[in-house]
Each structure stands twice: as C-alpha cells, then as structure tokens.
Homo-oligomer: A and B are copies of this chain.
Amino acid sequence: MQRPAPLALLFDVFGTVVDWRSGIATEVAKAFEANGVGADSTAFADAWRAQYQPAMQRIRSGSRGYVPLDLLHRENLDIVLDEFGLSDRFDAAQREALNHAWEKLPPWPDAVAGLAALRRNLIVATCSNGSIALMARLAKFAGLSWDAILGAEIANDYKPSPRVYLRSCEALGVPPRQVMMVAAHNDDLRAARECGLMTAFVRRPLERGAGQTVDLEPTSNWDIVADDFLELSEHERFSATAS
C-alpha cells in the first residue's frame, strides 16, 4: 500500500543540492594563486572534506558540545593546511576568509529550477549539517530559495543522529511519516527512514569527481529514485499534493 503524498520535503545540501567539491576547489585555487602556492586545489578540497565526519562524530558522541559547522570547517582547515605543509602560508585572516568558501558552492544544474517547481506545492526546507548562517548565505550565492532552514543547528546535533531529522519535522509541524528526506547519500536516507520519514535518492555521480565509487546507486528500496530534481519534481508521487 502506497503511503500518502508528502506534505514537506527535507533536503540534504552538500553534494545533493550543491557541488561542494568543485566549489571548494575553485575557492582554494584562488587562495593558492593569491599566495603563490602550487598545490592541487581539488586534492585539498577532498582532504578538507575528509575531516568532516570525524569532527562531527565528536559532537554526535557527546564528547564535545554542539558548535556550528563553520567552526568545525575552520578547525579542519588548520589540520589540512598542516597536512599540505602550508601552515606558514596562511595567516588567521586569510584562513577566516578561505573558510567562507563553503558559502560559495555552485548548485547542480537542475537544482534551482527543480526546487522552485517542488516549492510550488510543498514545504521545502534544508536538513543539512550546515549552520543557519552558512545555509542562508549559500542559498543567496546559489540562487536557491527555501521555506525554512532546519537541520543541525535547530537540533544542536549532527546527522545522522535521529534528533536532527525529528526536530526538523517537529519544527515544520508535520509528522515524520508525511515528510520526505531527499539526499544523494544512502546513509542519510537510512537514518531518515529509521525516524519514519519517506525517502528520495537523487543520483549525484560526480559529487566526488569522475572516480566516484560510493553512492552511485540506491542501496535500498527508497520511495523514489531520480536522476535530478526536475525528474523528482515530476514524480507521480507529488501530483496528488498538487491536485
């Protein structure tokens, strides 16, 4: 028996809505050029992102209180500059400026139009690990519009902790069973499903570049699988809401 059409959609953002890898590599390349550094900016982007899960894990496990992702990115930047032997090439102000790279990520080509189409009939909000400040600035940069910015900061925790999904549904005043999580990552959807949400997997096979090996395909029977947000917006599951 098919479940009812969702009343609200929650979106993962990094990788699902925006291309963080290209965006970070572009900003890093600019900073490298300005400082006369010859290192590989894409490798640097990957290394910066590699620090993402361990940093959040300390908060999810309770060994550190909640701090916004902007601060974790800033701390991780120090680690990665050190890894690349570039610690003496960037002062505090330059590091702070480079940290804003996370607010300047390009949307995937279908994202702006797809989200706009979905927003006509549904509540469409972020459920990202990014802070409110980061999500608001990123949306402005990428030309995205959200009905609300939810996720980590209103839950004081990080995905995939159940609290982040549940608090986001609560903030919308919609029961989890009438909310659909949209992500390009199977782990994110698995955690959302365990909280009772519906799930939509959107393929982003270039998130990690041409050699991507993970999340190329759905690993479970998610409610919807789509190649992009336009295909998602045209899914029959949403026509019930519109009529």
A interface residues, Cβ below 8 angstroms from B = 70, 123, 125, 131-137, 139-140, 145, 147-150, 153-154, 171-174
Query: Could you list 12 further interchain pairs (A-B, Cβ under 8 angstroms) beyond the known A132-B148, A136-B148, A148-B148?
Result: A70-B173, A123-B136, A125-B136, A131-B171, A131-B173, A132-B150, A132-B154, A132-B172, A133-B172, A133-B173, A139-B147, A153-B154
Q: Which residue on B lies nearest to A150, using beta carbons?
A: B132
Nearest first, the 10 A-B pairs at minimum CB distance are A133-B173, A132-B171, A136-B147, A136-B148, A148-B149, A133-B172, A145-B145, A132-B148, A123-B136, A154-B154
Asked, given contacts A172-B132, A173-B70, whether A123 binds B137 with beta carbons under 8 Å apart, the answer is yes
Min CB–CB distance A115 → chain B (angstroms): 12
Residues of chain B with a CB closer than 8 A to A136's CB:
123, 125, 147-148, 172
Tell me what chain A mostly uses at the interface: helix, strand, loop, or mixed: helix
Residues of chain B with a CB closer than 8 A to A171's CB:
131-133, 153
Residues of chain B with a CB closer than 8 A to A131's CB:
171, 173
